[in-house]
Structure 1
Amino acid sequence: MLKNKLVSIVLILLAAITLLGVVALFVILNFAGDNNEHAEPTIDEILEQSVETDEITTNLLSNDFIRIKFRIQTDSEDAKEELAKRTFQVRNILIQELSSMKAADFKGKEKLIELESMLKMRLNEIMQEGTIEKVYITDFVLQ
């Protein structure tokens, strides 16, 4: 009778340890995966998921003109494809926003960062398959 109790206790302990190990493995694998999802994308991923605009030349509100080019980073390959199809809408938004600005609106780092943020917001309004993650100014001449 003592042996049966001892065997039962050992089996219960083994089952508990196994169950604890399975739960620990599940938690580690699930939470370790979340850290990778929020990691910054590599440069190769950024290039694969971004679209470069043609050079845009337009008049400004202050009677100056600007030549500017952007690289627009999306969150997925599907979003990149959608953005590429919406080229005419993207150019329209860029021209509308740029033509309503003055030359002083391009002076300084903070002003350019504000422009990138505002364009990101406006472009996200037309997106259906994903989102715009970042807008980069890649070429810029103000005359």
Structure 2
Amino acid sequence: MFKSKIFIMVVAILIAITLILTAAFVLWNYMDKSGASDATAQAQNSARGVKSGKILTPDQVKEFTVEMKEVLTNLAGSGNGASNKFVKVSFAFELENKKGKEDFEKLQSRMKAIVIQTLADMTPDQVSGKKGFDNLTSALMNRMNEELHNGKLQRILITDIVLQ
């Protein structure tokens, strides 16, 4: 009788320890995910969440693409006073359908303003290299898709860039 009470107590303690460890693991994962919610991470995660839909033919890609050439703007300072760095960049915006392209063309000035505002908040290091291009295009896609009603951006291509 004494041994069965000890056995039940040991099992209860093991179950309690298992539950505590499971709760700690779940909390650790939750805190880890919520701690990584800076703007760049959110932009990348949202851009990954955009479904590409059907695969477009080359003719459809050409039909649903809008170009924005030579946007020139200053970049944010890199910590040592006023910035004298600027960027000149051209884009190709691939939309999912013809109505999306029409919306984008009607909102061209608003879309250009979004590009300029986004670039003005970035430093030269943030727009350099593949990682910088990915961050820029992800941020633009998130902000621009909020403005479009009849279609969404599928891809943003940087077709020309000069960083000075």
SS at match of 1:127: coil
CA displacement at 1:38 relative to structure 2: 5.0
CA displacement at 1:110 relative to structure 2: 1.6
Residue in 1 aligned with 2:68?
53
CA displacement at 1:55 relative to structure 2: 1.2
CA displacement at 1:58 relative to structure 2: 0.2
SS at match of 1:72: strand
Q: How far apart, in 1, do the equivalents of 2:156 and 2:98 lie?
A: 16
- Contact 2:127–2:135 under 8 Å retained in 1: no
Q: In the comparison of the two structures, how many residue pairs are matched?
A: 107
Q: How far apart, in 2, do the equivalents of 1:43 and 1:142 lie?
A: 30
Residue in 1 aligned with 2:129?
108
Residue in 2 aligned with 1:16?
none
Runs of 4+ aligned structure 1 residues displaced above 6 Å come to none
Q: How far apart, in 2, do the equivalents of 1:92 and 1:39 lie?
A: 30
Letter in 2 for 1:43: P
Q: How far apart, in 1, do the equivalents of 2:119 and 2:58 lie?
A: 28
CA displacement at 1:44 relative to structure 2: 1.8
SS at match of 2:133: helix
Gaps of 5+ in 2: 1-51, 78-82
Identity %: 32
RMSD over equivalenced CA pairs, Å: 1.5
Superposition TM-score, scaled by structure 2 size: 0.62
129-138 or 37-46: which moved more?
A: 37-46
Larger C-alpha radius of gyration, 1 or 2?
A: 1
Q: Deviations over 1:66-116 (max 9, x none)?
A: 000111111100110110010110011000000111000122212211211
Gaps of 5+ in 1: 1-36
